[in-house]
Amino acid sequence: MKFIALLISLFLLSSCASLRPATYTGNTSLVGYKYAYITPTSGLSSSSGGVYGNEFGIYDTTVSKSINPSDVISGILMKNGYILLPEIEDNIRDRTVIVNYGETGRRNILGGLFGYTIEVTIQILSADTHEVLCTCTAEGQGETEADDIRIAITRALAMVFPD
């Protein structure tokens, strides 16, 4: 019975790792910007799994997920009223932002015993002047790396577009 209680406790602890607070640095307001160009990113596929057994046999499960960070960023920008451009157009450059994405870190939770978080940073620039309008950074932790990145992007952009 103690063993089962220990397993349940470890499971609960692993599912509630504390993420660092998201950060936001803004130099200029995004008011007046209507268009966005997102620097292309490549996709990532990740998976997680486990092996379970009981008196009836041994079973394995695998969860595979993929993500393209620019797709997640696109959805959030569209939801917030931006028109996405496939390239920067000269006649609307003064109302266009450039959005850059990067992974900026990985942090082990309790020495890696409970997995890790992935940190991302999103930078938003003026397409006209290339001035940094804002930068936001956040961590994410989920079942797979794809989940980690999706959560981190969502948390970071929530600093720019609070609901």
- Whole-model pTM? 0.79
| pLDDT computed for residue 42 by the predictor | 83
* pLDDT at residue 94, as a whole number: 97
What is the C-alpha to C-alpha distance for residues 162 and 158, in angstroms, rounded to an integer? 5
CA distance 102 to 104: 6
In this prediction, residue 1 carries a pLDDT of 60
List all residues 6 or more positions away from 59 whose beta carbon is below 8 Å from its beta carbon.
Answer: 51, 52, 53
* pLDDT in the model for residue 64: 74
Residue ranges of the chain whose pLDDT lies below 70: 1-17, 45-53, 56-57, 59-61, 63, 111-112
